[in-house]
Structure 1
Amino acid sequence: MKFAPPIAAALALLAASPATAQQAPAPAPAAAPTSPPNLVVVISVDQFSADLFAEYRAQFTGGLARLMSGVVFPSGYQSHAATETCPGHSTILSGARPWRTGIVANEWVDFNAPRADKKVYCAEDESVPGSDSDSYTVSDKHLKVPTLGEWMKLADPATRVVSVAGKDRAAVMMGGHKVDELWWWNGKAFVSYAGRTAPAMVTRMNANVTARIGEAQAPMALPAFCQARSRAIRLGATKTVGDGRFARTAGNAGAFRASPEFDEAILALGAGVATDMKLGQGGHTDLLILGASATDYVGHTFGTEGSEMCIQMFALDQTLGKLFAVLDKTGVDYAVALTADHGGHDLPERHDEHAAPTAARMDRALDPKAAGAEIAAKLGIAGNPLRGSAAGDIYVDPVLPKAQRDKVLAEAMRRYAAHPQVHGVYTRAQILATPRPTTPPETWTMLERARESFDPSRSGDFVVALKPRVTSIADPMGRSVATHGSFWDYDRRVPILFWRKGMTGFEQPLSVETVDIAPTLAALVKVPVPVEIDGRCLDLDAGPGDSCR
């Protein structure tokens, strides 16, 4: 099935480029290769939950079908509590959970930050003069650990690392501190760190995407298996989701980002940069990192069910197939790992159709601004003593005298714990007193999940866990109608897939973690892990051998 129309010439740019046109497809090896691959490709599909994978896997015929012929771990875990984009991406190629990476959330509160709101974004340098929470300078400074690309460069300085994503935090957290090329979409174009010269492929893709956004988009075709999912869900008096097909007006960059076209542009750019640089063709193992972000924007904008997500899953599968076809043409022996930074949760209004008893939107009284104002009035405190997120870390203003801080904390704990939408409230002292978990991630207690997200230098004074299916978006009339970020398994579970030509495929149903990906790939390319990590090597050999040796 074809979309009408696809992004103009996105992957066609590669088919016509000299770097690919002169190469022939490599024949499939007769047996599983024992030498390291020439290229490792790591793909993160933002908000690609294990539930979505299970729901649509029977429909995949393209790139995801190819990956399913390799090694499949359908029950991977972003095992920590802070199931957001930045923490999740920090685990994938570091082998470390957020307590170790330092990436405890997409943003946190630092009362020493040189800005009024004290918010710090995970992938910024807040010390840059004139920057603020909305206008920031992208940086890797907050990532406390090295990544796979850095391990590979330490073992072989000739290794090249390329990271391309739809979000800066995805490109930075997976790419790490030493990248040869790093590009992300800033809402208008693919950009990089200041002072970097754009490769020709970036310039061509930016021109292509700018032209495409300037065109109106007709409704995309609805695959037959999506028809039963196409039902309008009313949100308020004027808004509906669930039966859309990504039609958009000319110039609507936001709608472009929340559509399958976005992933096509991201993956086309990544493949183009890789082929122009001849990754995997220099006698060394190179690393190509791709962050496909459209699924997350579709999930936030329309929910995880409905025609929109169904079309997105179909398109993602087909676009990945195009990506692999481009890589096949290079003749390079490459291995692929695909996973996600977190899962996702559908909008409560659609859950109501399934009679989900606890599905609801968060009570606005749980917002720290609202709760803090009430506490300040009760205790006679000037200003608001609370900052943070109602579904995560909450901070008590350290400027307050200790006696007042203790009273604020006690009153806040009492209020949040008593609220019917709150499952639990955990203090800094409780979390830090919790031993690191050693059991499978599905067995972890709530405190253990919180512990693996907790960095004492960045995390809050207490953490709030909402009850299952309580959505932290109180108002569905804004840009986002659904989200993630909870302690619950629908946000923690993601698929983990490995593929290489000649690999003997199998499926392992037991739980593994995203922190296992980096040491597994390190073993595949025969690179030592130079630091202490949380993950372990996964055996990708279905036979008597052990790929982790």
Structure 2
Amino acid sequence: MVTLSGCATVGQRTAVSRPPKLVVAIAVDQFSADLFDEYQPRFTGGLARLARRGTLFHNGYQAHAATETCPGHSTILTGDHPAHTGIVANNFYDPAGKRWPAAVYCAEDEDRGTAANYVVSPRHLKVPVLGERMKRLWPESRSVAIAGKDRAAVMMGGHTPDIRWYYRDGRFQTDLDAKPDDDVMAANAKLKALVASHAPPLLVPADCLARAKGVATAPKGPTVGAGRFEHDPSEQLFRASPALDEAVLNLAGDEIDRDQLGRHASPDLLAISLSATDYVGHAFGTEGQEMCIQLHRLDAILGAFLDGLDRRGIDYALVLTADHGGTDIPERLSDGKRYGFPSGAIGEAIKAQLGLKANPLVGGGDVYLDPALDPATRDRVVALALAAYRADPNVAAVFTRAELAAYPIPTGDPVNWRLEDRARASFDAKVSGDLTVLLKRHVVPIPKPAVGYVATHGSAWDNDRRVPILFYRPRARAAERRDDIMTVDIMPTLAAWLGLPVEGAIDGHCVAGAAGAVCPGR
């Protein structure tokens, strides 16, 4: 066996033995494994390269039920399910807090802001991310997070990043005590011009032309499916286009150079979240021409980003996954249905029946009871609510706080998890609701679609849970695997790449053989 540049030769490929100098973790928001499998034969850029030269897991799982942006991102670099990260939803309620009955955002410090003008913070994230673990062993290690959403940057950057930038209100901002450098100022100037302009339509790849079929969303919603992103100037519609992802990756490249990531004595971490696929999915659904254009463009700009890493000569390793999947518009699904969470109507009926002063139920999937209820009335409300939810033909299951608290955290193959297992992986007794309501598959909780919001995710079903996971190291052996792993397995696998001991109990496990990963004790 001949050793070459720290790598052991294996046929025409090699097994990488030395730790990388830079770990890059990329999350693509609302990128289901269904979408990846559908488009994989047509990818020619970065996604094709990662799939063909890396270790591709078709069956990765955001195993929990609350398949939203904040919970999903919280699993990727912590190794923990939302039940342990404390991030159970994008928004939750605190019956004992001063904000009640208004919601609390997952990535805010509610003591320093308002619901309308929140202060971004990692306050609610209970566990460390990979970057924090790296700093404990290597204090000089740099941790950088760049994202299209603040909550994504917070959940991947954690409590002690050196740099954190996210797109918000038309520009890149940070919650850290930092002033925009020249690269960020230039990026913001370009973003301002792009948002203000009437951009020409993007070129439509040939295989997207067949998807150019307009579908009207009911009742009286927008027609989607045949768009080319020809929109009037609008920050909202700018986000739902490939331009947002390109801006994020360009800024990430600039920060690699400015902060000299991958060129220090200690290894560095760059966490990136690309949000445009999620905005496109919400605005147009997952199976129209818009998503086709978005995924082709994502493939191309990821290819350019990887080429840039190679040109810099950095010894890097990379993982790409998603925070959740997505559901297409019901109008294109044979079994799809538009529907609203029934909490409002059920609560109003209970209010009238018991002669209460206010609706006793707040929330949708996580349902919270009015804290002013006395114990006896509270029990009656729970009994009536359970009966009403369980009688609703669109509800798959409903669990009480006590029921979920009694379940153990699930382990084993996530494919075999029952609904209560999936709900338990999302349940934190301190922040979750008094009731957890799961809708049936393809029941979309958007009764009245609007521009920018015709489809969604967040269900306990595999269209939202199953995501691709791709591990990549240049020169490492390629593999395509069908075994089931979870996003909580990513952090311990990256730690194995780095030779970083993982202290304390976590939900995930190192995945042996992922782009050369050698797991401790194996």
TM surpasses 0.5: yes
Greater displacement, 268-277 / 161-170? 268-277
Report if the CA contact (8 A) 1:231-1:306 is conserved. yes
Shift of 1:112: 2.4
- State which of 65, 76, 81 in structure 1 corresponds to 2:60: 76
- State which of 55, 67, 73 in structure 2 corresponds to 1:89: 73
Unaligned ranges ≥5, structure 1? 1-25
Q: Give distance in 1, aligned partners of 2:105 and 2:454.
A: 22
- State which of 373, 381, 389 in structure 1 corresponds to 2:348: 373
Matched with 1:3 is: none
Report if the CA contact (8 A) 1:515-1:534 is conserved. yes
Deviations 1:46-81 (A, max 9, x none): 000000000000011111111112100110000001
* Cα distance change on mapping 1:208 and 1:477 into 2, 3 Å: closer
Q: Which amino acid aligns with 2:180?
A: A
Report if the CA contact (8 A) 1:29-1:502 is conserved. no
* Cα distance change on mapping 1:502 and 1:29 into 2, 3 Å: farther
Q: Give distance in 1, aligned partners of 2:164 and 2:208.
A: 35
Matched with 2:338 is: 361
Tell me the number of residue pairs that the alignment of Structure 1 and Structure 2 aligns.
Answer: 511
Q: Which amino acid aligns with 2:50?
A: L
* Cα distance change on mapping 1:413 and 1:521 into 2, 3 Å: same
Q: Give distance in 2, aligned partners of 1:29 and 1:165.
A: 35
Matched with 1:330 is: 312
Shift of 1:447: 0.6
- State which of 478, 500, 504 in structure 2 corresponds to 1:527: 500
Matched with 2:41 is: 58
* Cα distance change on mapping 1:395 and 1:63 into 2, 3 Å: same
Report if the CA contact (8 A) 2:338-2:445 is conserved. yes
Deviations 1:454-493 (A, max 9, x none): 0000011111111111001111135310000001010000
Shift of 1:290: 0.4
Q: Residue 383 in 1 paired to residue 358 in 2?
A: yes
- State which of 27, 37, 46 in structure 2 corresponds to 1:44: 27
Q: Give distance in 1, aligned partners of 2:116 and 2:288.
A: 32
Matched with 1:123 is: 107
Q: Secondary structure at the match of 1:32?
A: strand
Q: Secondary structure at the match of 2:16?
A: coil
Q: Residue 290 in 1 paired to residue 272 in 2?
A: yes
Q: Residue 498 in 1 paired to residue 482 in 2?
A: no
Q: Give distance in 1, aligned partners of 2:326 and 2:258.
A: 35
Q: Residue 175 in 1 paired to residue 148 in 2?
A: no
Report if the CA contact (8 A) 1:199-1:273 is conserved. no
* Cα distance change on mapping 1:123 and 1:37 into 2, 3 Å: same
Shift of 1:186: 0.8
Q: Which amino acid aligns with 1:369?
A: G
Q: Give distance in 1, aligned partners of 2:111 and 2:194.
A: 36
Matched with 1:339 is: 321
Q: Residue 101 in 1 paired to residue 74 in 2?
A: no
- State which of 111, 116, 135 in structure 1 corresponds to 2:117: 135
How many percent identity over aligned positions? 49
Q: Give distance in 1, aligned partners of 2:486 and 2:6.
A: 33
Q: Residue 431 in 1 paired to residue 413 in 2?
A: no
Q: Equivalences for 1:16-35 in 2 at 5 Å?
A: 31-35=14-18
Q: Residue 306 in 1 paired to residue 288 in 2?
A: yes
Shift of 1:187: 2.2
Unaligned ranges ≥5, structure 2? none
* Cα distance change on mapping 1:442 and 1:399 into 2, 3 Å: same
Q: Give distance in 1, aligned partners of 2:288 and 2:193.
A: 29
Q: Residue 248 in 1 paired to residue 231 in 2?
A: yes
* Cα distance change on mapping 1:398 and 1:52 into 2, 3 Å: same
Shift of 1:254: 1.2
Q: Which amino acid aligns with 2:223?
A: T
Greater displacement, 166-175 / 275-284? 275-284
Q: Secondary structure at the match of 2:415?
A: helix
Q: Residue 259 in 1 paired to residue 246 in 2?
A: no
Q: Give distance in 2, aligned partners of 1:35 and 1:28.
A: 7
Shift of 1:435: 2.3
Q: Residue 166 in 1 paired to residue 143 in 2?
A: no
Q: Give distance in 1, aligned partners of 2:200 and 2:451.
A: 24
Q: Which amino acid aligns with 1:322?
A: A
Shift of 1:29: 9.3
* Cα distance change on mapping 1:75 and 1:238 into 2, 3 Å: closer
- RMSD over aligned Cα, in angstroms? 1.7
Q: Give distance in 2, aligned partners of 1:546 and 1:420.
A: 48
Q: Give distance in 1, aligned partners of 2:514 and 2:467.
A: 21
Q: Give distance in 2, aligned partners of 1:450 and 1:133.
A: 27
Q: Give distance in 2, aligned partners of 1:474 and 1:121.
A: 23
Report if the CA contact (8 A) 2:62-2:324 is conserved. yes
Q: So what's the TM-score if we normalise by structure 1?
A: 0.90
Q: Give distance in 2, aligned partners of 1:269 and 1:438.
A: 38
Q: Give distance in 2, aligned partners of 1:442 and 1:200.
A: 47
Q: Give distance in 1, aligned partners of 2:306 and 2:40.
A: 18
Q: So what's the TM-score if we normalise by structure 2?
A: 0.95
Q: Residue 239 in 1 paired to residue 222 in 2?
A: yes
